[in-house]
Amino acid sequence: MAGQTCSTDALATLTSFLVLFWCVEVARPFESPSFKQPITNTTVAVGREAILECLVENLNPYKVAWLRVDTQTILTIHNHVITKNHRIGVTHSEQKTWYLHIREVRESDKGWYMCQINTDPMKSQVGYLNVVVPPDILDYPTSADMVVDEGSDVSLRCVAKGSPEPSITWKREDGHLIHLQTGVDVSSTTGPILNLTNVKRDHMAPYLCIASNGVPPSVSKRIMLIVQFPPSVWIQYQLIGAYDAQQITLECHSEAFPKSINYWTRDKGEIIPHNAKYVPEIVETGFKVHMKLTINFLGPQDYGIYRCISKNSLGDMEGTINVYRIPNPNRIQTRDKSASKVNNGVTYPKEGREKDRADLLYLDNELYSSARLPFPGYSGPLRLLLVAVFLCALSKLNIFI
């Protein structure tokens, strides 16, 4: 009995010790949990994943929860997702670092989020999620392509949304300078409205409205400004001298919008066709047109007035070119059967002949006496050239020597 009593006493003693130890362990106060560092504010582009980080020390039996501050919505508690939002998730690293995951971030997710420990009293800290949105240009009220008359005032408008608010830059797509109403020419200008006063044909171009806010990508919209005007014609050489059998090319420049119809006529108004004799050519560069007319093997019937004509829905304009006959320079020579001195293809009388003997000038199948011609102070090829010009002028005035 004594041994049984001893055994019973020993068991009772051991049981009492274990109970006392457990009570002591349970009753022993835990070190209070704390936050190791503040939640870092986070900026994320829309569509990406946002991760907020909460560092906790000495969590022990307590639990961490994440909440949305503005709506007081409980998102997660410990390892469990409470919200029905499928984009929300929670992970941790050894119960020390707790991560709130928000996938496919939307602009509406922007705001304050709370990391909370269920102590008594409760401990919490907050962090801010900023959601940035790349720019997007609104079709309305952004301007569409415009058609205006030359001399009008024009305002091009560009409106964009995004976060932060986008800035607007205007450029010409062709790289040319923009002529502002202030009289200054610039490569680019900023602001939602581009004002152009008294627009000219040179203002006609595609303009780029570029929206940017530091969040890639920047976006742009192309706005075509069309300036319409009646034709204008410019001719550099309106008088062209030519000789028989020569090939010549007449040139005429026109500008018009809408696109013009361009052709050549003779003085009586008949349109010149394309054939072996006449070869018209048109080169278009934007609203500018370069008209050419090549005339092959010029004949007597080809001298006279030529007209280049440009027409569009706003009007028409013409320019004239006068082709007149001149002596063939290759046929100007002096002849003397008894002469023997030759310089540069021109024959002069022998030295010692009578001073009053006249050189004979064959000019375009007509025989003239050089003694009757002007410029006696000149000799040789220079005199022949001056004489040829002189005779041409006389023939135009119907004056004959």
Q: Give the per-residue pLDDT at 131.
A: 98
Between 27 and 384, where is the model more confident? 384
Q: Give the per-residue pLDDT at 181.
A: 82
Q: CB-based burial of residue 189 (10 Å sphere; 0-12 exposed, 13-18 middle, 19+ buried)?
A: middle
Most confident region among 64-68, 350-354, 363-367 by mean pLDDT? 64-68
Predicted confidence (pLDDT) per residue in 200-245, tens digit: 999 999 999 999 999 999 999 999 999 999 999 999 999 999 999 9
Q: Band of the pLDDT at 267, cuts 50, 70, 90?
A: confident
According to DSSP, the β-strands at 360-363 and 154-157 are unpaired
Supply the mean pLDDT for the chain.
83
Q: Give the per-residue pLDDT at 109.
A: 98
Between 139 and 399, where is the model more confident? 139
Percent of the chain with pLDDT over 70: 75
In this predicted structure, the answer to whether residue 81 has a pLDDT above a threshold of 70 is: yes
Q: Which of 85-94, 99-108, 288-297, 388-397 has the lowest mean pLDDT?
A: 388-397
In the chain, the domains with their CATH numbers are 34-133 (2.60.40.10), 138-229 (2.60.40.10), 235-325 (2.60.40.10), 329-396 (no CATH)
**Is 97 in contact with 112 (CB distance < 8 Å)?**
no
Predicted confidence (pLDDT) per residue in 60-75, tens digit: 899 999 999 999 999 9
Q: Give the per-residue pLDDT at 11.
A: 27
Place of tokens 């929300």: 88
In this predicted structure, the answer to whether residue 341 has a pLDDT above a threshold of 50 is: no
Q: Give the per-residue pLDDT at 376.
A: 60
Nearest to 229 by CA among 197, 193, 200, 272: 200
CA distance 65 to 57: 15
In this predicted structure, the answer to whether residue 16 has a pLDDT above a threshold of 50 is: no
Q: Give the per-residue pLDDT at 31.
A: 82
pTM to 2 decimals?
0.65
Q: Give the per-residue pLDDT at 182.
A: 83
Q: Give the per-residue pLDDT at 213.
A: 97
Predicted confidence (pLDDT) per residue in 168-179, tens digit: 999 999 999 999
Question: Cα 105–107–111 angle (5° rounding)?
Answer: 90
Q: Band of the pLDDT at 377, cuts 50, 70, 90?
A: low
For the segment 124-153, the average pLDDT, to the nearest whole number, is 97
Q: Give the per-residue pLDDT at 194.
A: 97
Q: Band of the pLDDT at 124, cuts 50, 70, 90?
A: very high
Predicted confidence (pLDDT) per residue in 236-248, tens digit: 999 999 999 999 9
3-class secondary structure, 146: strand
Nearest to 211 by CA among 196, 223, 199: 223
Q: Which residues of 296-327 are buried (b: 16+ CB within 10 A; e: fewer)?
A: eebeeebbeebbbbbbbeeeebbbebebebbb
For the segment 286-302, the average pLDDT, to the nearest whole number, is 96
In this predicted structure, the answer to whether residue 29 has a pLDDT above a threshold of 70 is: no
In this predicted structure, the answer to whether residue 391 has a pLDDT above a threshold of 90 is: no
CA distance 11 to 17: 10
Q: Give the per-residue pLDDT at 351.
A: 44
Q: Give the per-residue pLDDT at 374.
A: 57
CA distance 286 to 283: 10
Q: Give the per-residue pLDDT at 395.
A: 58
Q: Give the per-residue pLDDT at 252.
A: 98
In this predicted structure, the answer to whether residue 372 has a pLDDT above a threshold of 60 is: no
Q: Give the per-residue pLDDT at 268.
A: 85
3-class secondary structure, 220: strand
Between 119 and 366, where is the model more confident? 119
Which residues, other chains included, contact 348 with Cβ-Cβ below 8 Å and sequence gap of 6+?
Answer: 334, 336, 339, 341, 342, 359, 380
In this predicted structure, the answer to whether residue 396 has a pLDDT above a threshold of 90 is: no
Q: Give the per-residue pLDDT at 89.
A: 98
